[in-house]
Structure 1
Amino acid sequence: LEYLSKKYHVFHIRISGYNSQANGIVERPHFHVRDGLFKACDGDASLWVSRVYTTLWADRVTVRRRLGCSPYFAVTGTNPIMPFDIAEATYLMPVPTKMLSTAELIVRRAIALQKRPEQLSLLRSTVFKQRVEAAQKFEQDHARTIKSFNFERG
């Protein structure tokens, strides 16, 4: 470098490709994705590779305040249909008790996309338990009208 500076009067200036002041606009939306990814992994950073796809998908279909629509809608002009909207009853997901932040909304969608087996088994057992309770209540409420007929074959 000294040879070049002496011969051509070119001086080496060290710069970084990362400019924190200029990149703030770009980095700000990534906070929600990073936070959502961390929560979707239940705090285990080793799982992020398997959960990043669903987290990014959930982020891209989440409505942006500045746009007034999701990036998906801005590009395609249609609302996204999530696979679990078709195959599963998404209304079984717990109803939010408060306004959700962007990160919380991304987490809910990412977790729904992952179809976690432990959550599905918990949901299945809860629904089964409620069915049994509803059947028992029906039997109690209609005990006078329910008759057990024992018909013989033939």
Structure 2
Amino acid sequence: MDSHGQRRTFVKVLVHLKKKYHIRHIRISGYNSRANGIVEHLHYDVRQALVKAADGDQTQWARHAYSVFWSDRITTRRRMGCSPYFAVTGCHPLIPLDISEATYLQPPPTSILSTTDLIVRRAVALQKRFEQLSRLRSNVYATRLANAHCFEIQHAHTI
């Protein structure tokens, strides 16, 4: 089907939606680089962060998207003076930190971080979260078993 046929099919669907569900289609103008560029400029940082977090492999973007989007939402915007998360909820987000690696003590940046680089740093830290939780769970379980064994030895005569 050519693009003209697809357009006709799309218009028919819109007419059906209007009749059945009273949903009106609003026509907008085509792409306007000056008007749309203002909005799409913010997408640049997210795109670049996805590229960096996935080491340039576009097939891995879906795997890294959650952490990049979360990091983007908790990053302070210069114009707003706060993060979008804070603007919506009125509180600062809690970022999961690794207890043993102390990810909050990452090496200090050698220069001022761009928004993209800040988002990537946070995204990479968030991606480690599952590994950290698994390791933490294993450590807690091993400690519980060791403590139970010590308790049995210490109280062998009273049990």
Provide the TM-score with structure 2 as the length reference: 0.59
The SS at the match of 1:46 is helix
Q: Aligned partners of 1:62, 1:37: CA distance in 2, in Å?
A: 15
- Give % identity: 64
2:36 to 8, 12, 23: 23
In the alignment, structure 1 residue 57 sits paired with structure 2 residue 70: yes
Counterparts in 2 of 1:5-154, with a 5 A limit? 17-84=30-97, 89-115=102-128
Residue 16 of structure 1, CA deviation: 5.9
**Structure 1 96/72 Cα, relative in aligned 2: closer, same or farther at 3 Å?**
same
Q: Aligned partners of 2:85, 2:124: CA distance in 1, in Å?
A: 19
2:97–2:104 Cα contact (<8 Å) kept: no
Query: Which residue in 1 is equivalent to 2:6?
Result: none
Structure 1 segments of 4 or more deviating over 4 A?
85-88
Q: Deviations over 1:13-65 (max 9, x none)?
A: xx864322221111011111111110000111110011111101000000100
Q: How many residues align?
A: 105
Q: Aligned partners of 1:80, 1:113: CA distance in 2, in Å?
A: 13
**Structure 1 43/117 Cα, relative in aligned 2: closer, same or farther at 3 Å?**
farther
Task: Flag the structure with larger Rg.
Answer: 1
The SS at the match of 2:55 is coil
Gaps of 5+ in 1: 1-14, 121-154
